[in-house]
Amino acid sequence: MSWFSKTFSSSIGRKLLVAVTGLFLCSFLVVHLVGNLQLFKGDGGASFNIYSHFMATNPIIRTMEIVLALGFIFHIYEAVVLTRRNKSVRPVAYAYNRPQDNSNWSSRNMGLLGTVILVFLIIHLYNFFWRARFGEPNMIPIEGTEYDDLYSVVVQSFHLWWYVLIYVLGQIALGYHLYHGFSSAFHTLGLNHKKYTPAIQKFGAFFSIVVPAGFAAMPLYFFIKDVVLS
Amino acid sequence: MAGNNPNSKPMNLTLKIWRQKNFQSAGKMETYQVKDISPEMSFLEMMDVLNEDLLRQGIDPVAFDHDCREGICGMCSLYINGRAHGPERGTTTCQLHMRKFNDGDTITIEPWRAGPFPVLKDLCVDRSAMDRIQQAGGYISVNTGGVPDANEIPIPKAIADKAFDAATCIQCGACVAACKNGSAMLFVSAKVSQLAMLPQGKVERKTRVENMVAQMDKEGFGACTNIGSCAAECPVGISLENIAMLNREYINATFTSENV
Amino acid sequence: MILDSKIPDGPLAEKWDRHKFNVKLVNPANKRKYDIIVVGTGLAGASAAATLAELGYNVKAFCYQDSPRRAHSIAAQGGINAAKNYQNDGDSVFRLFYDTIKGGDYRAREANVYRLAQVSVNIIDQCVAQGVPFAREYGGLLANRSFGGAQVSRTFYARGQTGQQLLLGAYSALNRQIAYGKVKMYPRTEMLDLVMVDGKARGIITRHLVTGKIESHSAHAVILATGGYGNVFYLSTNAMGSNATAAWRAHKKGALFANPCFTQIHPTCIPVSGGYQSKLTLMSESLRNDGRVWVPKAVGDNRNPNDIPEDERDYFLERKYPSFGNLVPRDVASRNAKLACDEGRGVGTTKLAVYLDFADVIKRDGVNTVSQKYGNLFEMYEKITGENPYTQPMRIYPAVHYTMGGLWVDYNLMTTIPGLYATGECNFSDHGANRLGASALMQGLADGYFVIPYTIGDYLAQMPAARVETTHPAFKEAETAVRADVDRLLNINGSRTVDDFHKALGHIMWDYCGMARNAEGLQFAKQEIRKLREEFWKDVKIVGVNEELNVTLEKAARVADFLELGELMVDDALNRNESCGGHFREEYQTPENEALRDDENYTYVAAWEYTGANQPAVLHKEELKFENVKLTQRSYK
């Protein structure tokens, strides 16, 4: 085995891949959130639709999409390999165990949280990405050009209470996942220092609340504005 | 009652203990009663009382590992009521005292559970995997004699203290036992960090970390996912920071060492 | 038998260098033809095994623990002495030598002690090179502290766990040789007999503690580094598994046992709390720097210590020894605590304890300062007793801690059996009748790293490299004998547990051969031990079989040996009609209750020869010559 494959099949090497891809996915979350904030602009979806069009057609973004997909795949694959391996280490379970006395629930349940997020992601992709790319949404003219009216797809989806619920639950799972994952990734990369680690941990907690809250605000916004209040 | 503490009343306890004849056989939990346990007893002295009782009845006593009984040799283990070394933090089983329990309690006692720690009998497990990891590189390659004067290389006090903190590991295996993943990273990181911090250890730091991690994986320990149970249950307070340092050492070594 | 200590000629300071030049060497290419067995992996054993393997010998190392790193050297707290004179306070090799000889009450061999002091400086260099994290000053250089029995700061330390750090250094060196294949390690394996071929030690018989498998191991020489025999007393600061079996069985094969009655009782231990007690925990001697020792003046005063007014307390050490006060040597402090308790003034429910009070220093320096100095120790005390030493005085009582006696060895550390060596606490050589603090670690490592690697070569160079196969009748015979012993124990099927016998022996030893001894008590003890031994072989209860992890069987074999060794200790104490160091005979004391040495008649090492079961041991004397120090009476008034 070459040193390279040896490194990335070692326990630390695999963790390293999970951490690097995880941080990459965090950066995606930021871009995705900032872009989607256009939903709140109150211009009838014009900005959002133009933004969506840009994202769907720009060649750099399209290339990054592939990188992003690979990021997800690696993140999930490595995590699954590690989880399976870790599960096999304890063939006989404890009859009585109290891990809650020594660790956080989220840290112990990253696999579960990741699975919930994955399920959410599939639903999310099917509903928006798939339909935007391969479906045939209505067209809407904005400043003389015809755009796919994805805004309406979003607004209509978020009028369904169960759909909103799936989103909110997905974001709660994401929040817990990030709460452990963000600072943990730095730890795995060995980036730890008395001076900076407390700040990373604080920022990680902040990140794990703000990003999912931002995403969850979108379905809730439309549901409350259009369904609850009308 | 030993000292001037008037509140020490003897206790009666129910013990649920893992019994397993040997490595090959299957084991199961058995229930025993112990009576008149003084709160001044250590946990292992309570086990001694149980064993004397069993012996008098002609029953094979419960085998458990222990030696120094002062919290330093690392031989005692036991997963007590769902916790490595029992409910008290920063304490080995031998230093745990019965005053932490109440009359009428049921106490569940199990061996360390991990594939690389096979049960030898009852509560004794084989921890030789940890020795083999140490043999893979947990040393500085100097022969006896021919070394420089001890004061030739000054070491900043802060570094020496930090290296010492890592060096306090007693190799008991509680980190592995408590970890959801059965990872031995805290143990390995303690030795790697100690030697990587000291000037004497820097010479071999890359080869050391590569070899020790390879051996750790070979022994079948799990991968660390930064849960933190290990450090929380470590009786001598080895910090999670050491694992970050191990990661750093490993990444640096594997990408820059000459070992292809 | 004439005991030849083989001390080299020449002035004291040149003996070791001359000897090193005069010993025969084994050619580097020939070393791989020689096998050496090392039993025990504490400081003395691990350091010897690693160093011999580095030199090229094939080493087999054995320990009863599950890992060599758990040997009881690990529990040493205080530090290790070395004559480095880093503090520029007038230390020197000669001063360390002098302090050690005087501390041992002039019952140790000058040449050995001088060599110990000489190599002490190399030990520190070696340990630092191995990565031992000794305490350091802000400038990055090594820190020192002072310890009992010395007026210079020469003790190197690693917080309160110097023993663990030094042992981990030796363990790492050992691991390196295991990885190279030069040392074959046998953990969870206990030596049960020594095998002799043509009058020489050529191997051992072991029992694997998990499978019960009894095996033969052959070698050209055998080193016993198996520690002391403090567990004869049942309660001691030794580990639960510490035992004398290897040394005792070697003794029964012909190795003389020297000064068995020299046992060290440490004054500051946590007292016994009840009959279930399995082990005693030492509190570092450094506590006596600031703590004040006292008992109530009145007999039977059961008040809470904080309610006893100042003028009703007896600070007996300060009263009797105004110049040294609470800092008198270990033996003096221990004996006086016992005296106070004998008078009925002991404290706590068992009445076998005295107070060690920190109220004054807390008032003077504040809680913070005290906790910085002693925080760890206070925490440990609270963990064990449930009492807070910041608010009420600690209770302490002396406990058996170290045994100065052991297998008799010559200057080369060879016992009276050719090819059998004893190192560390297992031998008798360096501490006389009393060991100074921080000297045990020094001796263990000196023997293992710097003495035995030279001296064993001298022996091996003079013997053929041909191996003795384990099929040799001597091995088969020894194996059969060991099996028979095991079967004998398993077939007794009595009613009393092993621990029961061990506790009974401990009581006899503590009461009659402990801190203070007298002829009448010792004679009584001898009879009691014999009775107990007889009963043991009739009535001990062991369940299970040999072919399994059988803890009771292991213990029974060890206790059987303690029951014999205990009697020899009593014999030795009876023979030595003087008081010196840890051996205090009540008949021989000054009017102020101080130890009274008899230099005219007892300046010798008492080495005992085994002559058979229940036969009287035969005494051999090695006269001690003091050419470099003047014998004086210790006074701490």
Which tens digit of pLDDT belongs to each residue from A91-150?
999 999 999 999 999 999 999 999 999 999 999 999 888 887 887 778 899 888 889 899
Domain ranges in chain B are 11-120, 128-256
> Residue C265: phi, psi to the nearest 5?
-105, 120
What is the architecture, at CATH level 2, of domain B128-256?
Answer: Orthogonal Bundle (1.10)
* Residue C258 forms part of a structural domain: no
B116 and C CB contact within 8 Å: no
Claim to verify: residue C389 and residue C478 sit in the same structural domain: no
Give per-residue pLDDT as tens, B99-136: 999 999 999 999 999 999 999 999 999 999 999 999 99
Chain B contact probe: residue of C80, C124, C130 with most B CBs at under 10 A: C130
Total Cβ atoms within 10 A of residue C509:
25
pLDDT at B7: 52
In-domain check, residue C160: no
Both C389 and C483 in one domain: the answer is: no
In tens, the pLDDT along B5-20 reads 445 689 999 999 999 9
Tell me the chain B residues in contact with residue C134 when contact means C-beta distances shorter than 8 Å: 150, 160
- Asked if residue C392 and residue C309 are part of one domain, the reply reads yes
CB of C21 within 8 A of CB of C13? no
Q: Residue C511's pLDDT is what? A: 95
- C584 found inside a domain: yes
- C-alpha to C-alpha distance for C276 and B185, rounded to whole angstroms: 38
Does residue C35 lie within any of the structural domains?
no
Q: What domains appear along chain A, each with residue ranges and CATH number?
A: 13-89+105-228 (1.20.1300.10)
The answer, for B250 touching chain A at a CB cutoff of 8 Å, is yes
Nearest neighbour of C75 by CB, restricted to B72, B126, B150: B72
Evaluate whether residue C46 is within a structural domain.
no
Which of B108, B213, B250 has its CB closest to that of A96? B108
Task: Label residue C494 exposed, middle or buried (CB < 10 Å: 0-12, 13-18, 19+).
Answer: middle
With beta carbons under 8 A apart, name residues in chain A contacting B207: none
Residue in C139, C164, C392 nearest the CB of B154: C139
Q: What is the dihedral of CA B132, B136, B138, B140, to 10 degrees?
A: 140
The pLDDT tens digits for B47-74 are 999 999 999 999 999 999 999 999 999 9
Angle CA(C423)–CA(C425)–CA(C429) in degrees, nearest 5?
Answer: 70
- Ramachandran region, residue A143 (left: φ > 0; alpha: ψ -120 to 50; beta: rest): left
Residues C368, C285 share a domain: yes
Asked whether the beta carbons of residue C274 and residue B41 sit closer than 8 angstroms, the reply is yes
Domain containing residue C351: 265-400
Strands of the C35-39 sheet, one edge to the other? C183-186, C58-62, C35-39, C221-224, C420-422
A187 and B CB contact within 8 Å? yes
Q: Report the distance separating Cα B235 and Cα B90, nearest Å.
A: 4
State which of C385, C400, C415 marks the end of a domain. C400
Could you tell me if A230 lies within 8 Å of chain B, comparing CB atoms?
Answer: no
pLDDT reported for residue B3: 43
Tell me what pLDDT residue C324 has.
Answer: 81
B6 at C interface, C-beta within 8 A: no
Region A160-182: mean pLDDT is: 97
Residue positions of C annotated with a catalytic role = 330
Q: Which residues of B touch A94 (CB under 8 A)?
A: 79, 82, 110, 113
In a domain? residue C395: yes
- In angstroms, the separation between the Cα of residue B232 and the nearest Cα of chain C is 18
The CA distance from B51 to the nearest CA of chain A, in Å, is 22
- Fold category of B11-120 in CATH: Ubiquitin-like (UB roll) (3.10.20)
For A83, the token pair is 């989880």
CB-count exposure of residue C520 (10 Å: 0-12, 13-18, 19+): exposed
Across chain B, how many H-helices and E-strands are there?
Answer: 9, 7
Q: Tell me the chain C residues in contact with residue B154 when contact means C-beta distances shorter than 8 Å.
A: 136, 139-141
How many domains does chain C contain in total? 2
Residues (pLDDT < 70) of chain C are none
Nearest to B244 among A95, A101, A190 (CB): A190
The pLDDT value given to residue B15? 98
Q: Residue C373: which CATH number? A: 3.90.700.10
Which residues of C fall within a CB distance of 8 Å from B140?
Answer: 129-131, 172
State how far the Cα of C43 lies from the Cα of C172, in Å rounded to an integer: 12
**Which residues lie below 8 Å from residue C423, measured CB to CB, with a gap of 6+?**
C44, C45, C48, C223, C224, C225, C413, C444, C447, C448, C451, C452
| Interchain CB distance below 8 Å, B68 and C240 | yes
For residue C199, tell me if it sits in a domain: no
Within this chain, do residues C273 and C378 fall inside the same structural domain, yes or no? Answer: yes
Phi, psi of C230 (to 5 degrees): -55, -25
B232 in C contact zone (CB under 8 Å):
no
Select the residue from B81, B181, B183, B234 to test the A interface by mutation, using most A Cβ atoms within 10 A.
B181
- Structure tokens of A175? 């929040």
Supply the ipTM of this predicted assembly: 0.97
Which of C254, C246, C280 shows the shortest CA–CA distance to C63?
C246
How many helices (H) and strands (E) would you count in chain C?
A: 17, 20
pLDDT at position B229, please? 98
Contact C171, C163 (CB under 8 A): no
Residue C568 belongs to some domain of the structure: yes
Going by the DSSP 8-state scheme, the letter that residue C223 receives in this structure is: E
Mutation for testing the C interface, residue in B43, B73, B127 having most C CBs under 10 Å: B73
Q: Report the first-to-last Cα separation within chain C, whole angstroms.
A: 43
How far apart are the C-alpha atoms of C216 and C206, rounded to whole Å?
6
Considering only CB atoms, B55 lies closest to which of C136, C158, C497, namely C497
Instruction: Note whether C touches A: 3 CB pairs or more under 8 A.
Output: no
- Give C533 to chain B, closest Cα distance, Å: 20
> Chain B contact for A188, CB < 8 A?
yes
**Nearest chain A alpha carbon to B240:** A187
Q: Do C305 and B194 touch (CB under 8 A)?
A: no
Share of chain B above pLDDT 90, in %: 96
Smallest Cα distance from C603 to chain B, Å: 36
Where b means 16+ CB within 10 Å and e means fewer, C558-588 reads bbbbbbbbbbbbbbbbbebebbbbbbbbeeb
What gap in Å lies between CA C541 and CA C500, rounded to an integer? 10
Judge if C355 and C488 occupy the same domain. Answer: no
By three-state DSSP, how is residue C26 classified? coil
Under 8 Å between Cβ of C47 and C170: yes
Write the burial class of residue B146 (CB in 10 Å: 0-12 exposed, 13-18 middle, 19+ buried): exposed
User: Does residue B259 belong to the interface with chain C, where contact is any CB pair within 8 Å?
Assistant: no
Complete edge-to-edge strand list for the sheet that includes strand C394-403: C263-269, C394-403, C354-357, C292-296, C313-314
Chain C residue with CA closest to B119: the answer is C210
Q: What is the CATH number of the domain that holds C533?
A: 1.20.58.100
HSE of B158 in the Cβ direction (CA atoms, 13 Å)? 1
CA distance C604 to chain B (A): 34
Provide the residue count of chain A.
230
Neighbour tally for A180: CB within 10 Å: 24
The nearest alpha carbon in chain C to B171 belongs to C69
CB C331 within 8 A of CB C595: yes
